[in-house]
Structure 1
Amino acid sequence: MYIQYTMDQLYLPMDLEEDIPQNHLVRVVNDMVNRINDKIFAAAYPGGGRHSYHPKMLTKIILYAYTQRIYSSRQIAKAVRETIPFMWLAGRQRPDFRTINRFRSERMKDVLESLFTALLELLTQGGYVKLDHYFVDGTKIEANANRYTFVWRKAVVRYKMKLQEKVRVLFQTIEVQEQQENLAHEDADLAELGESASLSSEAMEQTLRKLETQLNEQPKDKPLKKAVRLLKKDYLPRMQRYERQEETCGERNSYSKTDPDATFMRMKEDHMKNGQLKPGYNVQAGTENQFIVGYSVHQRPTDTRCLIPHLKQLQRRLGQLPKTVVADAGYGGEENYAYLEKENCEALVKYNTFHRETSKSWKTDPGKLENWTYDEENDQWICRNGRKLGFVRESRSQLDSGYEVKLRVYRSENCEDCPLKSGCTKAKGNREIRVSMTYLRYKEQAREKLRSEEGRTLSARRMA
C-alpha cells in the first residue's frame, strides 16, 4: 500500500553530486572558480599559524550565495550545513559565519579586483565577451550612514572666512594695545599675519606660541591673557576643524560625518517626495551580452563626469577599450565625446535634447539653434526670419576636470522690428548666442548614428 520508508537505512550513492542536475547553476560557479589561477589568492595568505580553509572553496560558496540572494554570513553558514549545493561546494566542510565574514571583508577585499579580471578573461576566452558593444549606465546607492549628519563645503568655507575675520580683528586689537603701551618688543609678524589674505591653523599656532611667551613675561596683561585663552580654546580648534572638513570634501560639495566617503545626492527612491538629498555613491556598470564587464564607484552625483574615469578603469583592468560605447543622455557631454573620439571608440551616446528635437514644438520654435542655418563661408548664423548673427568674440572656459570649452559668441545687428522676437528671446536688446562648434559637430555625428538602423537596434538592446 505504501512505498517502503525508513530512516535507519544507509542509501547509496553517498556522493552529493549525484543529487545536483547537470545544468544547475552551482556547477557553473564551481567550474569558473576552479579555472582561476591559485596565485591570485596567494597574496592574501602570508602563511603561518593553523591551516586555513581553501580560498577557492570560500569563494565558491560566497559567489553562489550571492546568486541566490543570500548575503548574510550567518545565512551562508546555515546553508553550508543544510543545503545540498552549498554542502557539495564546501566538500562537507563547515566554516562558521565569522570565517566567512572575515574572508570576504578582509582577505577577499584585496583579491576582488584580480578575481573579477580573471573571470572576465575566462568569459573572453569562451567568446561570451568581445568588447564590441559596451552598454553603460549608472545608479545611485544610498550609503549606510546617517542622513542628517552632513557637512556642506560652502558652509565650511563661509564659516572659515568669518572666523578668519574674527582672528584678524583680535590680532589688530593686540597690536594697537602694544603700540599704546609702547612695549619694547613689538611683534611685526603679528601685524603681517593680521593683514594676510588667508589665515591657516598652522600660522595661528605659531602666533599663539609667541603670544604665550609674551604672556609669561607679562602675566598681568589681562587683554593678552584673554586673547591667548580665546585663541587656544576657541579659534584655533575651530580653524583646525574647518580645514579638516575642507580637506575631506576635496572637490565635492558635501560629505556625511558617519561615512566621509559618501556624498549627498538625489536618489531615485524619494519616499518623502521632497527631493531630499541623501548620502550615497554613484555606481557605474557596463555590460555586454548581459555580463557585467566593468564597474566603478564614484562620489560625483552626475553621470557625465563618471564616464571617463569608468572607461579608464576598464582599460587598466582589461588592457583595451570597447569598440562602441552605448549610453543615454546623461553621458552626452562635449568632454566625453572628445575622449571617445581620441580613443577611437564609436560613440552611440545620446545628448540631453536628442528626443526633444523630434517634437513639433521644438521644430517650430524660432529660438532654437537647431532650426537656424549656419553660413560657414561668412561665419554667421541666419535665424528663422532671415536675420544674420555675426561673430563677435571667442571665450574660453575650463571645467573642473581641466577640459577647455571654446565658445564662439554671435550677435544680431538688429532685432527691433522682428515679428518672431517674442518667441525667440526674452532679452530687451538684440539676440546673442554662445556656441561650441566642437560640441555641435559631436551632436551631429551622434544624431546621425543614433537614427541609423544599427543605432536604433543598439539603443533598444541597451534597455535590456
Structure 2
Amino acid sequence: MLKLYLYGYLNRIQSSRRLEREAQRNVELMWLTGRLAPDFKTIADFRKNNGKGIKNACRTFISICRDLNMFKDAVIAIDGSKFKAVNNKSKNFTSAKLKSHITRVEKHIQQYLDALDNADNEDEEPRETIQQRIAHLKGKLKEYKALQKQVEAIPDKQLSQTDPDARLMKLRSFGGQVCYNVQSAVDAKHHLIVAHEVTNVPDRNQLYNVGCAAQEALANTNITVLADKGYYSGVEIKSAKDAGMLTYVPKTDTSGSNAKKIFNRTQFKYDAAKDVYHRPGDQELKYRGSETEKGKLIKRYYADVYACRGCSLKSQCTTSPYPRRLGRWEHEQVLVSVQRRLNQWPEAMLIRKQTVEHPFGTIKMWMGATHFLTRGFNNVKTEMNLSVLAYNLRRMISLLGVKPLIEAMRAV
C-alpha cells in the first residue's frame, strides 16, 4: 500500500478515490500492486492508521542518504511555508471577528425592530416578513454568542470548525488563509529535506526545534543553520548555540529611530572592557542597573543627565527630555557574533533562499491548489511525510540514478 501512495504522490495523485481508479486502469500500478485493486476506503484507512510507520519510512530514507555521504557539509537552510488546510475562512473565528459579527447582527435587528413600528404604512414590508427576519437574526446572534464562549475557552482565542488544529495565518498574496505552517530543514548541497514539522504557529520560536530535528537526522550536532529574519529570537539563537549549531539569522530592524530621524541603535558602540556604550560624539552611556523583561535579564545604559542636557547632538540622539536609554540582554554577545558572521558571509541569505524555497514550491505544485486533503494534526503530518518522502526519492533518483539507489536501499 505504501508503494501505491508513493506512486500517487510522485505523479500528483494524492486522493484515495483517484488512487482507487488508477489502480484499476493504470498498467504501471497494476504491475506495482500485483493487480490488487483496493477500494478508496482501504487506501484512505492505510494513510490514516499508519502515520507512525510512514514517518519512520521517511526517516529511514534520510538515514540511507546519510550513509551515502550526501550530507558532508552539514549546511542546513530552515524556513516555514503556509499550506492551506481543509477549512474555509468563513468557518474560522477569532474574538475580534465574532465581536464584529455580533455588533453587525444587533444593528440589523434594531433596524428591523424600527421597521416593525412602521409596518402598518403601505410602503413598508408586511409585519410577518419582518418578524421572520428578526427571528432568523436572533438565531444567528445566539449562534455567534455560543461560538464566542468556545473561542474564549481556547488558549489562542481562535476556533476552526472544520479542522480544529488549523489556524488563520497571513499570506502575502491572499491576505489571510486558514493554514498549517510547515517547517523544513533542507541540505544546502543536494537540496534534500532532512527534517520537517507541521505546526500551526509562526516561525519565531521554531529555530531551535527544527535545528535539533536536523541534528538528529544527520547524526551530527555541529551543523550550520541558515534562516531568514522571521526566525530572529535571542532566546532561540542562544539555545541553538548551546546545542552546537552555528546560526546565520539576520536581525529585524524594529526600531523607530529612523522614522524619528535620530541615531539608530547600531550607531552606539559597546565597550566590553568598560561596560559602556559610546554614542556618536563619544558621549558615554553607562550601566545603571538591570531588570527582567519577558523572562530575560536586561542591563540598562544611559548618559549622565547634566552631560546630556548640554550636548550639541542631543536632538539627534533622542526626542525625549531625558537621556537616551539602551537595553542590553545578558547574552547579547551571542547575537553580535551572529551579525559578525553574516557580515563575513553576505551570500548566506541568498544560499538559504535558493535552497529551501525550491522544495516548498515543488511540493505545492504536486499538491495542487487545495494543498492538504485531510484534517487534524496527525493526518496532516502523515500527508506531509508522504510528500517529503516522494520529493526526496525523486531528488535522489536525479542525483544517483535508479539502479544505485535501489542497491543502496536493498543494502539496508
TM-score normalized by structure 1? Answer: 0.58
CA gap 1:242/1:59 in 2 versus in 1, 3 angstroms: same
CA gap 1:87/1:268 in 2 versus in 1, 3 angstroms: farther
Matches within 5 A, 1:75-154: 75-104=18-47, 106-130=48-72, 132-152=74-94
SS class of match (1:335): helix
CA distance in 2, matches of 1:133, 1:60: 31
Matches within 5 A, 1:191-210: none
SS class of match (1:264): strand
Summarize deviations over 1:300-331 as a string: whole Å, max 9, x none. 1x211122233344556666546111111111
Q: Percent identity?
A: 23
Stretch of structure 1 that moved more, 411-420 or 136-145: 411-420
SS class of match (1:115): helix
Alpha-carbon distance, 1:415 to partner: 2.9
Alpha-carbon distance, 1:429 to partner: 2.2
Instruction: Give 2:364's aligned residue.
Output: none
* 1:338 partnered with 2:231: no
Stretch of structure 1 that moved more, 77-86 or 323-332: 77-86
CA gap 1:434/1:155 in 2 versus in 1, 3 angstroms: farther
Summarize deviations over 1:263-308 as a string: whole Å, max 9, x none. 22212332xxxx4x433221101111211111112221x2111222
Matches within 5 A, 1:430-445: 430-439=323-332, 441-445=333-337
CA distance in 1, matches of 2:268, 2:217: 45
Alpha-carbon distance, 1:89 to partner: 1.6
Instruction: Give 1:382's aligned residue.
Output: 278
* 1:299 partnered with 2:200: yes
CA gap 1:325/1:377 in 2 versus in 1, 3 angstroms: closer
The answer on whether the counterparts of 1:140 and 1:267 sit within 8 Å (CA) in structure 2 is: yes
Report the residue type matching 2:65 in the other structure.
L
CA distance in 2, matches of 1:150, 1:79: 35
Matches within 5 A, 1:302-451: 302-314=202-214, 321=221, 323-353=223-253, 367-398=263-294, 404-413=295-304, 414-439=307-332, 441-451=333-343
Instruction: Give 1:179's aligned residue.
Output: none
Alpha-carbon distance, 1:392 to partner: 1.5
Q: 1:278 aligns with which of 174, 177, 186?
A: 177
The answer on whether the counterparts of 1:298 and 1:306 sit within 8 Å (CA) in structure 2 is: no
The answer on whether the counterparts of 1:133 and 1:322 sit within 8 Å (CA) in structure 2 is: no
CA distance in 2, matches of 1:131, 1:245: 47
SS class of match (2:185): strand
Instruction: Give 1:74's aligned residue.
Output: 17
* 1:268 partnered with 2:172: yes
Report the residue type matching 1:263 in the other structure.
R
The answer on whether the counterparts of 2:270 and 2:276 sit within 8 Å (CA) in structure 1 is: yes
The answer on whether the counterparts of 1:308 and 1:336 sit within 8 Å (CA) in structure 2 is: yes
* 1:259 partnered with 2:202: no
Alpha-carbon distance, 1:451 to partner: 3.0
Summarize deviations over 1:75-133 as a string: whole Å, max 9, x none. 223333333432332223222333222222x2332422212112112222222245711
Report the residue type matching 1:382 in the other structure.
H
Unaligned runs of 5+ in 2: 99-143, 355-412
CA distance in 1, matches of 2:96, 2:301: 35
The answer on whether the counterparts of 1:322 and 1:345 sit within 8 Å (CA) in structure 2 is: yes
CA distance in 2, matches of 1:299, 1:61: 29
Instruction: Give 2:191's aligned residue.
Output: 290
CA distance in 2, matches of 1:245, 1:320: 43
CA gap 1:144/1:131 in 2 versus in 1, 3 angstroms: farther
Alpha-carbon distance, 1:417 to partner: 4.2
SS class of match (2:252): coil
CA gap 1:343/1:108 in 2 versus in 1, 3 angstroms: same
Alpha-carbon distance, 1:137 to partner: 0.4
CA distance in 1, matches of 2:241, 2:11: 41
CA distance in 1, matches of 2:186, 2:67: 17
Report the residue type matching 1:260 in the other structure.
P
SS class of match (1:261): coil
CA gap 1:112/1:314 in 2 versus in 1, 3 angstroms: farther
CA distance in 1, matches of 2:178, 2:159: 7
Instruction: Give 1:59's aligned residue.
Output: 2
CA gap 1:423/1:141 in 2 versus in 1, 3 angstroms: farther
Unaligned runs of 5+ in 1: 1-57, 157-237, 399-403
TM-score normalized by structure 2? Answer: 0.64
The answer on whether the counterparts of 2:207 and 2:240 sit within 8 Å (CA) in structure 1 is: no
Report the residue type matching 2:192 in the other structure.
F
The answer on whether the counterparts of 1:142 and 1:281 sit within 8 Å (CA) in structure 2 is: yes
Report the residue type matching 1:412 in the other structure.
A
SS class of match (1:76): helix
The answer on whether the counterparts of 2:231 and 2:249 sit within 8 Å (CA) in structure 1 is: yes
**Superposition RMSD in Å:** 3.4
CA distance in 2, matches of 1:367, 1:457: 28
CA gap 1:243/1:310 in 2 versus in 1, 3 angstroms: farther
